[in-house]
Amino acid sequence: MKKYLALACVMGCIAQPAFAANKINLTNFTGAAAQADFKKFSEDLGSALSYKAVTPAEPLGITGFDLGVEVSSTEAKSMATATGNSSVKSLIVPKLHVYKGLPLGIDVAAFYSAVPTTNITLIGGELRYAILEGGMAMPAIAVRGAMTRLSGVDKFSFNTKSLDVSISKGFAMLTPYAGVGRVWTDSAPDSTIPGLKKESFQQAKTFVGANLNFGLMNFAAEYDKTGAAASTSIKFGFRF
C-alpha cells in the first residue's frame, strides 16, 4: 500500500510544477469581494475534490477487486487567490483508490490523497448498486452515492456529497461509460476569519470515460464537468 501511495504522490509532483509549495490560506480572501471570491473558490474546490469514480458501471462481482493509482487535474483559477500565487491555474490531486465487489451487484470503494507540497489531505468513498449488471447484449446501469472530506487546511471545513447514475457497455478489453449526477458542497471557514461565511450549494455533474483491461493490468481515463469546471482523470492499476 505504501508503495502505491508513494507512486501517487510522485505522479502528483511531476504533474503540477506550477502548484508546488503553495498552501491554501483563507486569510487571503480580503476586501469587499472577499465573500464572492470565497464562493468561487468553494465552487472550484467542489468541482476538483468531489468524488470521481473513474470506473465503469458494471459491478466487480463478489471476487472482484480494483486497486489503482489515480491523478485528477481540474481547472481552478480561484486557487490563485487562495494560495497567494497568481500563476496557479489548476488543482492536481493524486489518489490511491481501492474498489471491492460485494454480492447482489453492490460495490464499495474508498480513496486517500495527500497532495504533495500543499496542505490538502482528502478522503472519500462510494457505495454503488448495479440496477442492471450488464452482459453480452445489455449495458450495465448503476446508481452511486459518494462523499469526500478535506482536512489539513487551517480553520476550514469542507466536504462534498454526490449522487449519480452511470451506464457502460464492454467491447472486448474496452468498456466506455458515461453518467450524470449532482454534487452537494459545504464549505465553512472558521468564525474567527473576518468577512467570510459558510457556503452551501449544489452543482450538476456529467462525466464520460473508458476502461481498458489487459488481464490483471488496467488503465482508465475520465472527463468530468462539475459546475463550471472541467476535470481530467487517469488511473493505472490492477482490476480483476
For residue range 138-151, list pLDDT tens digits in order. Answer: 999 999 999 999 99
Residue 105 has pLDDT above 70, yes or no: yes
pLDDT of 21 = 54
What is the chain's mean pLDDT, rounded? 91
| Complete domains list, the chain, with CATH | 2-239 (2.40.160.20)
pTM for this predicted structure: 0.89
**Which residue, chain included where needed, has cell 480494483?**
66
